[in-house]
Structure 1
Amino acid sequence: MNQLGAHELMEVHEVLTNTIDGINQFQLYQPHCKDPELQNILQNQIIFMTNEYNSIVQIVRNKSSQQNFSTYRPLKNASPSFGTSGGTPEAPNSSINEMNDHDVASGMLGCLKASAALRMHAALECSDPELRNVVLQGAKNCAEQAYEVWQYMNQKGYYQVPVFQQNTAQAIINHYQPAGNQMNNQQT
């Protein structure tokens, strides 16, 4: 790896700090997680995040290359459930003792979404191609982790997916048309 610019080094500093915060946050969730499926997801993601953190530290220290950088593999994939059923009203807990699996999964999802966006932003500031690829893969890993948590939430009814009526959805889809010859005519 070549010399790192100040801006990209600060972005990697943010990514590493964010990763530490994410690991610590997920560890805080462990005692509140009751569902064995969510416990497995949580533990698997803590292990993955810790390994990813160590890999980035080694890469930045120029002691290894991105070939050691992992791709996140969800424990399972499920088909999404569409539509809403009203659901349970939500409000903040009045005590930490009220924290449940829904709260844990929602906190995990929020953390992972923010981490994916942070890593994508950081990748845009990297001048070193190897570091850029590592940070981009980190953004994709966070997105895959978030999708795994989202699937869990969707299957449990914690995260519903509203849908438009068919005619409204079709009207939005039909609003956009292929570019066609107009783009070709402008280039000649």
Structure 2
Amino acid sequence: MQLNLDNNFNQTNQQGNAASYGAHECMECHEILSDAINGINQFELYRPHVKDQQLGQILDKQINFMIQEYNSLVNHLHNRGIKPGSTYQAQNNFSPKLGLRNPSPESPNYNINQLNDRDIASGMLGCAKSSAVFATLAALECTDPNLRNMMKNCVISKIDMAYEIFQYMNQMGFYQVPTMQENTTQTMVNSYQPANML
């Protein structure tokens, strides 16, 4: 089996149709591309159910970026000379509201017609978070520097996409941030002290 893989690899390289990729990074790219397709499809399913205009704008912006990111990776893998793209641009002028403000109870929906903006935003947040984990794992397996940089950009983009949707959710009261008592927070923070340099 190994001999067959090596022969196919050498033939592909001699024909100039593919870059030199290790098995792990090929499999990680497969995972990233599958995850991207699933994310795009998931967001498209959400689109007709969005009621809030601001959420709709965020969703459309994120879908378009996800498609662009997917195409960039596919083109790179096909050796079409596409350089690593830019990262997602999210607004960061935000001060999160901390503390619980009478959160409403949550439960699963039993009907697609029960899907609301909170459900959609939560699904978008979960998608960005899991995609960030997949991209981090992929970056750690990449031997090709350009592919590695694409994965690093993907991680940063997913982090910023998650924060953008968190901002929306926090502003709307969908994602409230519990806090600890001030003395507990200070005790925990102060339990760590700077280390001396060698």
TM-score strictly above 0.5: yes
Tell me if the contact between 2:88 and 2:161 (Cα under 8 Å) persists in the aligned partners: yes
Spell out the pairing of 1:166-181 with structure 2 (5 A cutoff). 166-180=182-196
Counterpart amino acid of 1:158?
F
Q: Check whether the contact 1:77–1:148 (CA below 8 A) recurs between aligned residues.
A: no
The equivalent position to 1:133 in structure 2, one of 137, 144, 149, is: 149
Match of 1:12 among 9, 18, 29: 29
Task: String of CA shifts for 1:77-113, please: whole Å, max 9, x gaps.
Answer: 3211111012100000121100000000000000110
1:165 is aligned to 181
Indicate conservation of the 8 Å contact 2:19/2:77, yes or no: no
Query: After the TM superposition, which parts of structure 1 deviate over 3 Å for at least 4 consecutive aligned residues?
Result: none
- What's the offset of the Cα at 1:74? 1.5
Q: Does 1:45 align with 2:68?
A: no
Verify: 1:34 aligned to 2:51, yes or no.
yes
**Backbone CA RMSD of aligned residues:** 1.3
Rounded Cα–Cα distance in structure 1 between residues aligned with 2:91 and 2:192: 37
Cα separation, 1, equivalents of 2:194 and 2:92: 36
SS in 1 for 2:141: coil
Count residues in correspondence.
Answer: 181
Corresponding letter in the other structure for 2:184? T
Worse overlay, 90-99 or 75-84: 75-84
| SS class of match (2:65) | helix
Provide the identity percentage: 51
Residue ranges of structure 2 left out of the alignment (5+ in a row): 1-17
Measure the CA separation in 2 of the matches of 1:17 and 1:164. Answer: 39
After TM superposition, give the deviation of residue 70 of structure 1 in Å.
2.0
For residue 147 of structure 1, what is the aligned residue in structure 2? 163
Do 1:41 and 1:75's aligned partners in 2 also have CA atoms closer than 8 Å? no
Instruction: Give per-residue Cα distances to partners, 1:44-100, cap 9 Å, x unaligned.
Output: 100010011000101111112434x12101156321111101210000012110000
Q: Distance in 1 between matches of 2:43 and 2:156?
A: 19
| Runs (5+) with no aligned partner, structure 1 | none
| 2:109 equivalent in structure 1 | 93
Helix, strand or coil: the match of 2:138?
helix
Aligned partner of 1:120 among 124, 133, 136: 136
Letter in 2 for 1:152: Y
